[in-house]
């Protein structure tokens, strides 16, 4: 094929969009509406999931060891861990797949943290009242999980260690968060699939209708002796450009809306920031934009190529 023919078909792709401006506008509007809804839902779901993930990250298990200061305890001499043994258990915990972070908290750190959290201004008074650290011997590990649904397995394992006196955890929190995460994943996957399927159906139909009304034009080209490539190329390019515009417009709009909404919420409802962690626009749109563009351009391409093919057998 000559370069001039290639340029001609490319030019025709652009020209066709303006020549059939109402069809082009209708197609862009349909694609935009579909992908806007899709993008909106995606952004909401991603934030929802992020909030749950953040909550999961905050869920911890605290591991306490037998100690000689534990007067009520029913431990044997062998169950009293040395510092080395505590360190070794710490390493074993950190090596487990479901564990994301392990922090050692000495009895002094525990006392200081407790006082700071509860009696910050009366530290002097409390220091005098308690000459000894009431948490003496309560060295512990604070264990954070990467997968909260594995909490019970971790707790069972921890409890089986002879030196471990107690494992503090909330099974209810873990189960609730794990269930919520699963529910969100299923529901969002279902809704996103439906939205995507509806989008694909609507977009490919719009492209198909736009081409079908020009089947006469395709017939004429074929009667004159145009090759399939010559006939198809402008339509395919047109479909892809319409898909691109239809995807880019809602993404630009959504990006600005999202950024504005994020600013508004974080500035106007500061209290929400303490327990809700919204995703920055970039981390939502880094995935959403390429996905939407691929859907728009891909459907434009496939929709036009299959529809034109139906009319090529003349």
Partner 1 sequence: MTKRELSWRKREQFIEEKGVIFLDNVTKVYSKGNPALNGITLKIGKGEFVFIVGDSGSGKSTLIRLLLRELTASNGSVYVMGSDLANLKHRQIPKFRRNLGVVFQDFRLLNDRNVYENVAFAQRIIETPANEIRRNVPTILATVGLAGKYKAKTNQLSGGEQQRVALARALVNKPAILLADEPTGNLDPKNSWEIMMLLEEINQSGTTVLVVTHNREIVNAMHKRVVTMKRGIIISDEEGGEYIDED
Question: Which lies closer to partner 1 via its Cβ, residue 234 or residue 296?
Answer: 234
310 binds partner 1 (CB under 8 A): no
Q: Which of 219, 253, 259, 301 binds partner 1 (CB under 8 A)?
A: 219
One DSSP character per residue, 130-197 reads -SS-TTTT--EEEEEES-GGGHHHHHHHHHTSTTEEEEE--HHHHHHHHHHHHHHHHHHHHHHHHHHH
Token pair belonging to 61? 């298990």
220 binds partner 1 (CB under 8 A): yes
Token pair belonging to 129? 């009242």
- Contact letters for partner 1, residues 172-211 (x by CB under 8 A): ----------------------------------------
Question: Which lies closer to partner 1 via its Cβ, residue 256 or residue 309?
Answer: 309
- Residues of span 55-114 touching partner 1 by CB under 8 A: none
Token pair belonging to 173? 């929190």
215 binds partner 1 (CB under 8 A): no
133 binds partner 1 (CB under 8 A): no
- Residues of span 14-43 touching partner 1 by CB under 8 A: 19-20
DSSP state of 77: G
**Site size for partner 1 (CB under 8 A):** 21
Confirm if 197 and 18 have CB atoms less than 8 A apart: no
Q: Which helix (H) or strand (E) holds 33?
A: helix 21-58
Confirm if 41 and 288 have CB atoms less than 8 A apart: no
Closest approach of Cβ 23 to partner 1, in Å? 11
Cα 178 from Cα 89, distance rounded (Å) = 26
- Residues of span 221-280 touching partner 1 by CB under 8 A: 221-228, 230
Binding site for partner 1 (CB under 8 A): 1-2, 4-5, 8, 19-20, 216-217, 219-228, 230, 314
């Amino acid at each position: 094929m000559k370069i001039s023919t290639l340029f001609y078909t490319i030019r025709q792709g652009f020209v066709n969009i303006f020549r059939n401006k109402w069809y082009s506008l209708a197609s862009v509007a349909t694609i935009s509406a579909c992908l806007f809804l899709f993008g909106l839902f995606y952004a909401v779901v991603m934030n929802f999931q992020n909030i749950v993930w953040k909550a999961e990250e905050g869920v911890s298990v605290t591991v306490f060891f037998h100690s000689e200061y534990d007067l009520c305890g029913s431990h044997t001499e062998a169950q009293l861990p040395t510092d080395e043994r505590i360190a070794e258990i710490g390493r074993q915990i950190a090596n487990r797949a479901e564990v994301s972070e392990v922090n050692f908290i000495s009895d002094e750190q525990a006392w200081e943290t407790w006082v700071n959290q509860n009696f910050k201004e009366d530290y002097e008074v409390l220091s005098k009242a308690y000459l000894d650290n009431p948490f003496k011997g309560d060295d512990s590990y604070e264990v954070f999980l990467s997968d909260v649904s594995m909490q019970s397995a971790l707790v069972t394992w921890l409890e089986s260690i002879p030196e471990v006196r107690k494992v503090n955890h909330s099974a209810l929190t873990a189960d609730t968060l794990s269930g919520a995460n699963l529910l969100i994943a299923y529901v969002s996957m279902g809704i996103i699939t439906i939205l995507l399927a509806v989008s694909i159906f609507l977009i490919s139909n719009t492209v198909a209708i736009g081409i079908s009304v020009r089947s006469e034009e395709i017939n004429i080209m074929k009667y004159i002796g145009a090759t399939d490539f010559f006939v198809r190329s402008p339509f395919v390019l047109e479909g892809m450009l319409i898909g691109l515009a239809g995807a880019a417009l809602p993404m630009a709009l959504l990006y600005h809306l999202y950024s504005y909404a994020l600013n508004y919420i974080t500035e106007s409802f500061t209290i929400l920031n303490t327990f809700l962690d919204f995703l920055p626009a970039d981390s939502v749109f880094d995935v959403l934009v390429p996905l939407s563009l691929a859907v728009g351009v891909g459907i434009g391409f496939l929709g036009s190529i299959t529809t034109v093919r139906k009319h090529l057998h003349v």
